[in-house]
A and B are shown apart, each in its own frame.
Chain A
Amino acid sequence: MRTAWFVALALIAAVAAAPASAQVSDGVVKIGVMNDQSGTYADISGQGSVVAARMAVEDSGITKKGTKVEVIFADHLNKPDVGSQIARQWYDAEKVDVIVDVPTSSVALAINQITRDKGKAFLVSGAAASDLTGKACSPNTIHWTYDTWALANGTGSAVVKTGGDTWFFLTADYAFGHALERDTEAVVLKSGGKVLGKVRHPFPTSDFSSFLLQAQASKAKIIGLANAGADTINAIKQGAEFGIVRGGQQFAGLLVFISDVHALSLERAQGLVLTEAFYWDLNDRTRAWSKRFAAQHHGAMPTMVQAGVYSAVLHYLKAVDALKSDDGTKVIAKMKEMPTDDALFGKGTVRADGRKIHPMYLFEVKKPSESKGAWDYYKVRATIPAEQAFRPLDQGECPLAKK
């Protein structure tokens, strides 16, 4: 049952015995990985994100220089009230300096505000709502891996360009789904397409048959899935059953992770076009890192969320090291000042509104005959260069960008 009422807290990395420098609060940099450890988003983030954070601590080499780093984690059950309560406890009682990951946009938006009030640091990898660097942007938050605007811009425009000009949305009924639907609708309309209808389904939903019938009746060419995780998997699987694709309609998975493709099997997922910020098989450096990761995570390759956690924590520790301080507001400012560089996302920057900038990729899921084995799932259809991948700074209504 998901209502596990306890919060699984664990002490993982408490290395280096040397006394820490005086300006790191209470002598230790404490990183709190908060995500879904037990529910529908657990494979996307979950323990894998904790593994990634731990790897970043190791690779940063900061502990060898005498700074103590600790990684703890908790399960927010995808509920904003649970997440807020953990965040407050972490900041106030447990002296956590930075919260990382936090899939489920409704939870991330709540923690975004708490972090700002407490002057701590928040590195978002799992959540998608582009509001985090828009109206809700904060000097204490960096949105690292991807957002709804980037997904809409990648998948949405690619689909419209190849003739998918009428859309019907199946939308998860919470902040993330709404944001993804809004951003995709904007892209569809701008590219000359039309939106024929939409259904907002409860999160999570296991049976999509009723919604699929409505989508079928709309006669839209494209059924846009503005949901994620198990919801997307079930919608696609049941869509096959109801003959959606045979009837001439197509799915556009607006947020599909490699773990979803793995669960669906290539048989059912083949041909899906999707946008991601990371794939393990992009180049030698991503392959090497991903193999190290998989060895510590039941052989599963990293999702972009987990890769983003690594990259974000690594850059955070570089900034802490440069400043010799873990003051949240200062470290975030420093992170925006320093260029980013790591094995997974290459060189990049963090913008004034808190948006991390790097290329995005438009992938197509391989046919079973094209795949060489487990996890060999994507081929690159297009690389969206960093400067085009994210919403332009002046269009997000973020007050920080206006300075």
Chain B
Amino acid sequence: MPTQALFGQLLIGLINGAFYAMLSLGLSVIFGLLNIINFSHGAQYMMGAFVAYFCLQWAGLGYWWALLVAPLVVGTIGIVLERTMLKRLYHLDHLYGLLLTFGLALVIQGIFRNEFGSSGLPYGAPALLTGGYNLGFMFLPTYRAWVVLFSLAVCLATWYVIERTKLGSYLRAATENPTLVQAFGINVPRMITLTYGFGVGLAALAGVLAAPIYQVNPLMGADLIIVVFAVVVIGGLGSIMGSIVTGFGLGVVEGFTKVFYPEASNTVIFVIMALVLLVRPAGLFGRAS
């Protein structure tokens, strides 16, 4: 394998890592602040892609609008979900939230598959982002470059808001001690609801980003969610920076596996997960409680 070709694979790995990072970030935010293991994240990612498709088919709104509309629509659905169902589970074990969201994911995916089949629907990249650059060592499609830059920006912005702003400090304080924060006159339940909506919106945003690369397919989230959970576990549940770094890092590891031993590329992340859990049960960036 010539060095030049390895550069190509490195870049591809980063691109796939961008999706892992964005999805695991949403999961981390939700887990960190709500203590809910959101198993319907994959389904919400899929819904984001479908909203982009509907925007185009029914309303004539293109990709750029979809980037705005899909997170809002799916995030709102998430908020309704949180208000009507999830909030009843906060005082129970994690397992209940996991089971509820897992069940919801099955139902949502089943409905979409029944309506739209399993082959998926076509969705193209916007004209501005088609084409690509010849980097010498590989051909880089413009759209892929956009995905890396955009998701990196979103990830860092999220990290900044939660770790470095006043709003973020309220959020973190509310997870540590909700009663006390409420005593200061902050509406904690509303904050939690909005946080869930935000996490779900991130998933939908990733779905819109994915639509031009993959088919808009009812099963697209089901394939991805298991890997993303492994990423979150490796990074450390609830750690924001952890999920961003491991997302990109594991994308690269997976990319190289596809070159040297492609048959194992679906498994390599789980092998790493097992090893990390043996050595650091709280994950690479997690704090042992």
Partner-B contacts on A (CB < 8 A)? 1-2, 4, 36, 38-43, 46, 173, 199-202, 204-207, 209-211, 213-214, 216-217, 229-230, 233-234, 237-238, 241-243, 247, 259-260, 262-265, 267-268, 298, 300
Q: Which of B9, B106, B119 contacts A230 (CB 8 A)?
A: B119
* Residues of chain B with a CB closer than 8 A to A210's CB: 9, 12-13, 255, 258-259, 265
Q: Mark B11-24, 1 if CB is under 8 A from A, else 0.
A: 01101100000000
The answer to whether A213 touches B113, judged by C-beta atoms less than 8 angstroms apart, is no
- Known interface pairs A40-B219, A173-B263, A241-B144; 8 further A-B residue pairs with C-beta atoms within 8 A, sorted by A's residue number: A1-B225, A4-B106, A42-B113, A200-B263, A202-B265, A213-B8, A263-B117, A263-B120
> Closest chain B residue to A38 by CB distance?
B113
- A262 B119 Cβ-Cβ under 8 A: yes
Chain A min CB distance to B170 (Å): 35
Smallest Cβ distance from A197 to chain B, in angstroms?
Answer: 12
Question: B102 contacts the other chain (Cβ, under 8 Å)?
Answer: yes
Does more than half of chain B's interface fall in helix, strand or loop, or is it mixed? helix
Query: Which of these, B102, B132, B214, B220, contacts A243 with CB under 8 Å?
Result: B132
Q: Which residues on the B side are within 8 Å of A298 (C-beta)?
A: 117
In the complex, which residue of chain B has the Cβ closest to the Cβ of A48?
B117
Interface flag for B5 (CB, 8 Å): yes
Q: A1-B102, A237-B215, A264-B122 are in contact. Are A43 and B262 (CB under 8 A)?
A: no
Q: Rank and list the top 8 A-B pairs by shortest CB-CB distance, nearest first.
A: A263-B119, A210-B258, A42-B118, A202-B266, A265-B122, A43-B119, A241-B141, A43-B117
**Closest A residue by C-beta to B141:** A241
Report the Cα distance A237→B124, complex, angstroms: 10
> In this assembly, does B121 line the interface, its C-beta being within 8 Å of a C-beta of chain A?
yes
Given contacts A2-B222, A207-B16, contact A259 B144 (CB under 8 A): no
**Residue B159 lies at the interface, judged by CB distance under 8 Å to chain A:** no
With a CB–CB cut-off of 8 A, which chain B residues contact A243? 132, 139, 141
| Contact, CB under 8 Å: B106 / A1 | yes
Chain A residues with Cβ below 8 Å from B214 are 206-207, 234, 237
Report if B180 contacts A (CB, 8 A): no
Which listed residue (A46, A200, A209, A265) contacts B118, Cβ 8 A?
A46
Contact present for B120 and A230 (CB under 8 Å): yes
